[in-house]
Structure 1
Amino acid sequence: MCGIVGYIGQQQASPIIIDGLRRLEYRGYDSAGICTLENGELQIYRAEGKLINLENILRETPATGSRGIGHTRWATHGKPSEINAHPHKAGDFVVVHNGIIENYLKLKEMLQAAGHNFSSETDTEIIAHLVEENYKGSGDFETAVRKTLNEVQGAYAVAIICRQEPDKLIAAKLGSPLVVGQGQGEYFVASDIPAMLSHTREMIFLEDGEMVVFTEQEMRFTDLAGDELQKQSKTITWSPLMAEKGGYKHFMLKEIYEQPRAVADTIAGRLQAEEGDIYLEDIGLSDEQLQQLDKIFIIACGTSWHAGLVGKFYIEKLARVPVEIDIASEFRYRDPIVGENSLTVLISQSGETADTLAGLREAKGKGGKTLCVCNVVDSSIARESDGVIYTHAGPEIGVASTKAFTTQLVALYQLALKLGRVRGLLTADQCREQVEALLTLPRKLEEALEIDGHVEEISREFMNARDFLYLGRGNQYPIALEGALKLKEISYIHAEGYPAGEMKHGPIALIDEQLPVVVLVPRNDTYEKVVSNLEEVKARGGKVIAVVSGDDSELIDKVDAIIRVPEINDDLMPLLTSIPMQLLAYHVAVFKGTDVDQPRNLAKSVTVE
């Protein structure tokens, strides 16, 4: 959530900053602003709503200068408004900030007592005033920022400029992502990689408690005690075009169609079909350590939590290790029993999810081993975990996760196979059979996408429903949850996912002629049970949309609509049934005219609690 972009160099800063903010729109925001510095003059422009509102202001009154900072805000303290939008100014200092300052009320009272007057409702304005106050004592911009950051409590990524020291731009982070870009005679700082990719691929990732000072000639890294740090840059291979729509109407649809490629990339180099084994290069744990595991925790949020629910089925079935799965925001507060032979698996698309990162630190603090499933190289969770399984989905811009979800399922399946082999539960032949099925998955996903037009027709028929119910059993239950979440996220229709067998314990009371019920009923061990649940829905007048596998024709006369996905082994079927869940949500949202890629109130990367 929120986006920061900063620039210092020889070019006009404003177009670079606005372009970077546009590339961060996927993070979710409700206002935007920019500050540039030229000839000792600070120029600040802010606007409520979408970035286009700020751009319209800048067309009338351009922001000039070769250094500046910009921000897209998602409201935490104070309602969305122009006055609460960033940047915030106090005296000669201007700041943009992501995160939450937990002790801002105490600091505000102290600053008000010292004569400071505040113009916004935000916690961020505290930072600007505190830097101004600390500058009085030191007369040095860097010292004042460092002292301020040692006084605030909470999470932050900040970028700050100073009218009295116009040759400098300072940025720092604690618990909120910040990336530095190194160009030719120019420097960039941003919340995420896509903001800078059209200018440079040389990136440096700030760690918690680190600060960077930019001038046109150099950049210097220090900790908050002022000690110099040496940092190495990494070359990012994503091209700017990877973050463009590529001819699709929405990023979400593009990303749905990218799933065969994303899954193939996540498989590549890891499957050893001849040996009947899995190779996970960065897992960070020896075979001996994997053999000694007595419990696995999986923690995640939102869509990643649904992936974790499927992962529990995989691991317990293939490796016979007991798995507990937690929503990350609950894990850290329940005092989990984590031992030295416990493994905590963290799942996060961005690798910056605040609650998941806190859960990681809780598990490590109790002496357990950690492994993350993540899409962003060198993100905070990836850096702090003992090991990582990267999902090679590429940039995911749409807020509603699609290809990140399916690649997470693939990564968890690979982990389960690895554990099964190492622990002697799977023979080479058994693993080889699973690997061969996994190798067919990209093609099967392409076949599944051929239902798009049919799902669009079904979506048109049911777009005006006020509620949806999604039912599934076994490893299809998490897909029911995911289908309901997708519909809620982008169409704003109320939807619930339930285990099909649980329907009789409450949700059946909701069923009438107006309620569409999506039933996941591929051919597996629970097929007959789910068909019985489906018939219970029809007996009460509900409208049934059945998702079936292969050429199943038994249900044609029992349902109102049928969606077919290809056949594959039951373990991998959740990847195929997730496709119609995504497409149904997408087309309903398009018909309703909602903002598919940036749904209201949501952010792509949730970096505060």
Structure 2
Amino acid sequence: MCGIVGGIAERNISEILIEGLKRLEYRGYDSAGLALIDHHHVVRERQVGKVANLVEAVTSRHLHGNLGIAHTRWATHGKPTQNNAHPHASGEVAVVHNGIIENYQELKQELQQLGYVFSSETDTEVVAHLVNHALKSTPDLLTAVQTIVPRLKGAYALGIIWAQQPDELIAVREGSPLVVGVGIGEHFISSDQLALLPVTNRFIYLEEGDIVRLKRNSIEIFVNTVLTHRPVKELDATVMSSSKGEYKHFMLKEIFEQPEAVQQTIAQALDAEHLKAGFLEKADGAFDTIQQIQIIACGTSYHAGMVAKYWFEQIIGLPCQVEIASEYRYRHPVIVANTLYLCISQSGETADSLAALRDVQRHAKQQHKTIFTMAICNVATSSMVRETDFHLLTLAGPEIGVASTKAFTTQLAALMLLVLKVGEIKNSIAADLKQSVIQALWHTPKVLNETLKNDAEILRLSELFVEKQHCLFLGRGTHFPIALEGALKLKEISYIHAEGYAAGELKHGPLALVDNDMPVVILAPKDEMLDKLKSNMEEVQARGGELFVFADEHSDIHAKDRQHVVHIPAVSEWLAPIIYSIPVQLLSYHVAVLRGTDVDQPRNLAKSVTVE
């Protein structure tokens, strides 16, 4: 959620660290800081707010060093204050940390009894004091870190420096992502490879339990004090580059990138009117034996999974369950043999989803049950991709805006490709239906482009939301999850309280909220549920609600008093959820801009949720 950058070089490293932090701003944060070793002393600067505040402070102090660590913090323990900002220090030890130390209170009490004084409310400060204390028994930073790591409970990534060893940077990965950037005469660490692309495109992806010692001319990785090897992988830096270009915000740019992103995602699997022969061929045997699907995901990815449940069951007759990862992992679920456990995540580092995946794998092994795991993910080098049996990439490219847009629609496209593949292997999809869906997939980017032409009209309607405090989104069937997604988008970036409901549930409670001041957004594709949805619309209008309807151009729904209608191009009912994602994204975006919120980095939120 927050960001780590660190490195050791022959040159001054402060500008590299700051540039890395700037590249991590999209992840969400509330303060920033760095620590450098200069003449055998730790020099540290921390500022609340944007990285720009840190830049100003570092520049005014002329901070310099060849070894350093830096951090953008997203508050978990303690409010956003300078004392709570990273790096934290104890004597001449400085530490940056992503994740949560779950037993920090116990460790803090022990350290206080030893005479250590805490200056922050964070869990991280205990790590700095523990290392400092361990160094009283050993003159070696690596040994000190290896001594204290077994005492830490939770998920964490650490970067640690000590002024008495100005030629070493120690890093630890345990449950929170961390990569090593490989250079020539210089090496780096970061929680996201994107931060290091200005200095290297060669990376080592650390695994759970790795402890790393970086020197200018060497990289040593230890597992349980034993030296081990991890491969160096070269990344195509052009794939990871991203700028706003002509757009005011990354979110708007990414909304308009969706036709191309969906096109790229489907093109990896489709060849004219067929699935490519090599598409997911390694999974053929597994797909032939699976009896059900269990989808595990969080947030927007969970909504994508909800849509896929309809597809798996209605198109190929395969039972499918969808659960929120943070709930699934704690309710001790029954492991069922011959299940495909499908994890969906934009980053592939989502803490709860990864933990649920690992729990499933561990329990299946203990119970001697045959299962298969798969990731649908946007990051080829992520933990989730590396730790599952199979994976299907969403080729969305970098998504910088915290509120997911193109990652969501490419997840939907990838999920439909998976439905087709499993149906083909199990011979459970009718040939004409398969052909129809493939044709609709190819047509989807064009329909997305046509739908985006409604931008100006949606902007006009968004002006009616600016003073509102509440909103309802309604949909039926596969559009119930899109209603949930629309409500999530609106609350994420405009801070308007919004709720999504299955329209058939309107009479079971939500109707009590409807009055003259309640906008109700309706998703109205032309499908078998349209007539029932029209009845739900009448129920809202009878109570004085104001309707904002995104309706199929052939739905026979038209504007009238307190009923605003934006017509959406006709599309196959199977692919309609992808298309109807566009108007709710645009509505949320424009409302947020008009309300003056920080669209790309909404308050309290982070792009990649790497802590519980």
TM (norm. structure 1) is 0.97
- Identify the match of residue 563 of structure 1 among 562, 566, 578: 566
Number of corresponding residues? 606
Q: Distance in 1 between matches of 2:281 and 2:520?
A: 40
CA deviation after TM superposition for structure 1 residue 116, in Å: 1.9
Q: Distance in 2 between matches of 1:576 and 1:316?
A: 21
1:473–1:499 CA contact under 8 A, matched in 2 = yes
CA deviation after TM superposition for structure 1 residue 373, in Å: 0.7
Residue 472 in 1 paired to residue 475 in 2? yes
Which blocks of at least 5 consecutive residues in structure 1 are unaligned? none
Structure 2 residue aligned with 1:420: 423
Residue 100 in 1 paired to residue 96 in 2? no
Structure 1 residue aligned with 2:306: 309
Structure 2 residue aligned with 1:330: 327
1:535–1:558 CA contact under 8 A, matched in 2 = no
Structure 1 residue aligned with 2:493: 490
SS state at 1:389 partner:
strand
Residue 362 in 1 paired to residue 338 in 2? no
SS state at 1:138 partner:
coil
- The 1:107–1:574 alpha-carbon spacing in structure 2 relative to 1, beyond 3 Å, is same
Structure 1 residue aligned with 2:118: 118
Q: Distance in 2 between matches of 1:284 and 1:113?
A: 57
Structure 2 residue aligned with 1:130: 130
Cα deviation digits, residues 422-449 of structure 1 (max 9, x gap): 1111244432332121111111111111
Q: Distance in 1 between matches of 2:360 and 2:435?
A: 33
Structure 1 residue aligned with 2:443: 440
Equivalent AA in structure 1 for residue 12 of structure 2: Q
Structure 2 residue aligned with 1:399: 402
- The 1:282–1:16 alpha-carbon spacing in structure 2 relative to 1, beyond 3 Å, is farther
What root-mean-square deviation, in Å, do the aligned CA atoms of Structure 1 and Structure 2 show? 1.5
- The 1:59–1:174 alpha-carbon spacing in structure 2 relative to 1, beyond 3 Å, is same
Q: Distance in 2 between matches of 1:283 and 1:189?
A: 35
Which blocks of at least 5 consecutive residues in structure 2 are unaligned? 365-370
Cα deviation digits, residues 208-258 of structure 1 (max 9, x gap): 1012211111211111x2211112122222428732111210010011011
Structure 2 residue aligned with 1:373: 376
- The 1:413–1:8 alpha-carbon spacing in structure 2 relative to 1, beyond 3 Å, is same
- The 1:36–1:497 alpha-carbon spacing in structure 2 relative to 1, beyond 3 Å, is same
- The 1:48–1:164 alpha-carbon spacing in structure 2 relative to 1, beyond 3 Å, is same
CA deviation after TM superposition for structure 1 residue 361, in Å: 1.2
Structure 1 residue aligned with 2:367: none
- The 1:496–1:441 alpha-carbon spacing in structure 2 relative to 1, beyond 3 Å, is same
Alignment of 1:336-347 (within 5 A): 336-347=333-344
Q: Distance in 1 between matches of 2:435 and 2:352?
A: 37
Stretch moving more, 225-234 or 257-266: 225-234
- Identify the match of residue 602 of structure 1 among 602, 605, 608: 605
Structure 2 residue aligned with 1:179: 179
CA deviation after TM superposition for structure 1 residue 282, in Å: 5.2
Cα deviation digits, residues 538-569 of structure 1 (max 9, x gap): 12111111111235444333752111222111
Cα deviation digits, residues 121-172 of structure 1 (max 9, x gap): 1111111111111112121111111111122111110111110000011111
Structure 2 residue aligned with 1:205: 205
Q: Distance in 2 between matches of 1:173 and 1:121?
A: 23
Sequence identity of aligned pairs in percent? 50
Alignment of 1:448-467 (within 5 A): 448-467=451-470
Residue 164 in 1 paired to residue 161 in 2? no
Q: Distance in 2 between matches of 1:250 and 1:280?
A: 38
Residue 589 in 1 paired to residue 587 in 2? no
Residue 572 in 1 paired to residue 575 in 2? yes
2:42–2:93 CA contact under 8 A, matched in 1 = no
SS state at 2:492 partner:
helix
Structure 2 residue aligned with 1:71: 71
1:3–1:72 CA contact under 8 A, matched in 2 = yes
CA deviation after TM superposition for structure 1 residue 279, in Å: 5.5
Equivalent AA in structure 2 for residue 450 of structure 1: K
Residue 252 in 1 paired to residue 251 in 2? yes
TM (norm. structure 2) is 0.96
2:559–2:565 CA contact under 8 A, matched in 1 = yes
Q: Distance in 2 between matches of 1:49 and 1:560?
A: 42
Q: Distance in 1 between matches of 2:431 and 2:540?
A: 44
Structure 2 residue aligned with 1:277: 275
Structure 1 residue aligned with 2:235: 236
1:280–1:389 CA contact under 8 A, matched in 2 = no
